[in-house]
Homo-oligomer: A and B are copies of this chain.
Amino acid sequence: MSKDQNPIAVPHGYRPLDAASLPPYLAEHPALSARLGGGPAAWQVDEVGDGNLNLVFLVHGPAGGLCVKQALPYVRLVGESWPLPLDRALFEHEALVEHGRHAPGLTPAVYRFDPVMMLTVMELLEPHIIMRRGMIQGIRYPRVAADMAEYMARTLFFTSDLGMGGADKKARVALFCGNTALCGITEDLIFTEPYMVHDNNRWTSPQLDDLAAAFRADAPLKRAVSRLKCRFMGSAEALIHGDLHTGSIMVTQEDTRVIDPEFAFYGPMGFDTGAFVGNLLLNYFSQAGHATEADDRAAYKAWVLETVEAFWLGFAERFGALWAERPGDAYPAALFAGAEGAASLARAREDAIAALLTDTLQFAGAKMIRRILGIAHNIDFEWIEEPDRRAACERPGLLLGRELLTNAAAYPEIAAVTRAARDIEARACG
């Protein structure tokens, strides 16, 4: 983590923008002004950065809108006491462009990247909302499982040794090796701090004090999360998004877009698939806290678990199909020729996807635990105001998180995971 580092160097010419200084900046770039229409006086700027790290501006003009994201040299959530390198904007832009190329239509279009101001000007996504917020309201998104399956199958396959040449991949690995500050945040906040006494941690207290203490004393759990951390640090499988929870997905009923890949680097594929699955499961457990007399959320909870299953099955199908079509360097076509070779390669794909499910569940478990015991919490739970009610939702989330993290191999099919979620919640509320 960067907390103890010196203040961050900023490029000559860098200055954080605000609602007053952004319009003149945009006016200097005709291609951007043209998208807005009219002149700066006619542009409405709203700073909405509800994330933890950056400034985010939504700009509306007579002809259209823009989204502008600018990195700050510190963690916005914490302040200047926690410096953070600006070059994360560079890695975010690289990943956004590369993932957009592999998964067209599933990321925002990028109009401009400014390496001095460390800002990216993107498509304004309207009327999209953050998926997490929609799920808290109980809104179903019929496309999201298939779209996220497609996004992850394509971005992970085409950036891996399964889908590209080894030398080209190593050049990309080298580039993203620079994103160490953000990797360090993940290493600390997800894989370390929730399992020790640390000022960053918080949880619903005293209700969850028992589980927080039990996890800190849980030797098998700490070995499992450390082994997983080692995988996160040393497995350069694919260019992963690195922060693919439901707050990094913007949705409508008809459209799905993945945003904010500033944690991108070459890491284990299961970290992305696990982030999505883990955050869906957290939302599942939170639903009881949002139930009302008019809506017990039972039907929505069923939809959430259906989405977990449909995502994984769709991902496995799409990932396998890409691999069958386009063998890369790792499993070369020459070794798997003819009908027999195709059958053997199908078996290799099944084995690899089964191993990836195990990884997915372990990372999902780590993500679930850290969102309940660590520094960064989810509004799925945070918006349940009454602490007893919130803790009653969080507790089964922690229990399933621990089970997935330590015992993932016992879940060879995704249906076993959703069944476990139902069972754990039933027992917790029974």
Convert A237-248 into 0s and 1s, putting 1 for each residue whose CB lies closer than 8 angstroms to a CB of B: 100000000000
Which one of B175, B181, B227, B235 contacts A234 once the chains associate, using CB atoms below 8 Å? B235
Measured in the bound complex, the distance between the Cα atoms of B218 and A341 in whole Å is 10
Which one of B180, B223, B233, B340 contacts A351 once the chains associate, using CB atoms below 8 Å? B223
Instruction: Point out the residues of chain B lying under 8 angstroms from A196, CB to CB.
Output: 334-335
Q: Is A318 an interface residue (CB 8 A)?
A: no
**Restricting to A190-208, which residues have a CB under 8 Å from any CB of B?**
192, 195-196
Instruction: Point out the residues of chain B lying under 8 angstroms from A187, CB to CB.
Output: 166, 329
Q: Is A418 an interface residue (CB 8 A)?
A: no
Give the number of times this chain occurs in the complex, counting copies.
Answer: 2
Docked-complex contact B330 and A226, CB < 8 angstroms = yes
Docked-complex contact B223 and A192, CB < 8 angstroms = no
**Restricting to A327-364, which residues have a CB under 8 Å from any CB of B?**
329-332, 334-336, 340-341, 343-344, 347-348, 351-352
Measured in the bound complex, the distance between the Cα atoms of B172 and A180 in whole Å is 12
Instruction: Point out the residues of chain B lying under 8 angstroms from A167, CB to CB.
Output: 180-181, 183-184
Instruction: Point out the residues of chain B lying under 8 angstroms from A177, CB to CB.
Output: 170-171, 173-174, 177
Most buried by B among A229, A230, A336, A344: A230
Docked-complex contact B166 and A348, CB < 8 angstroms = no
Instruction: Point out the residues of chain B lying under 8 angstroms from A219, CB to CB.
Output: 340-341, 343-344, 347
Q: Is A87 an interface residue (CB 8 A)?
A: no
Interface size on A, residues (CB 8 A): 49
Measured in the bound complex, the distance between the Cα atoms of B347 and A169 in whole Å is 35
> Shortest CB–CB separation between residue A4 and chain B, in angstroms?
13
Closest B residue by C-beta to A174? B177
Q: Is A260 an interface residue (CB 8 A)?
A: no
Docked-complex contact B334 and A223, CB < 8 angstroms = no
Q: Is A160 an interface residue (CB 8 A)?
A: yes
Docked-complex contact A233 and B169, CB < 8 angstroms = yes
Q: Is A222 an interface residue (CB 8 A)?
A: yes
Instruction: Point out the residues of chain B lying under 8 angstroms from A173, CB to CB.
Output: 173-174, 177, 236
> Shortest CB–CB separation between residue A159 and chain B, in angstroms?
11
Given contacts A174-B178, A234-B237, 12 further A-B contacts (CB under 8 A): A161-B234, A166-B180, A166-B184, A167-B180, A167-B184, A173-B174, A192-B334, A219-B341, A222-B335, A222-B336, A230-B330, A233-B329
25 A-B contacts, Cβ less than 8 Å apart? A161-B234, A166-B184, A166-B187, A166-B233, A167-B184, A170-B180, A173-B173, A173-B174, A174-B174, A174-B178, A195-B335, A196-B335, A222-B336, A222-B344, A225-B335, A226-B335, A226-B348, A227-B348, A227-B352, A229-B329, A229-B330, A230-B331, A233-B329, A234-B236, A235-B235
- Would you list the 6 A-B pairs with minimal beta carbon distance, nearest first? A174-B177, A167-B180, A219-B344, A230-B330, A174-B174, A170-B177
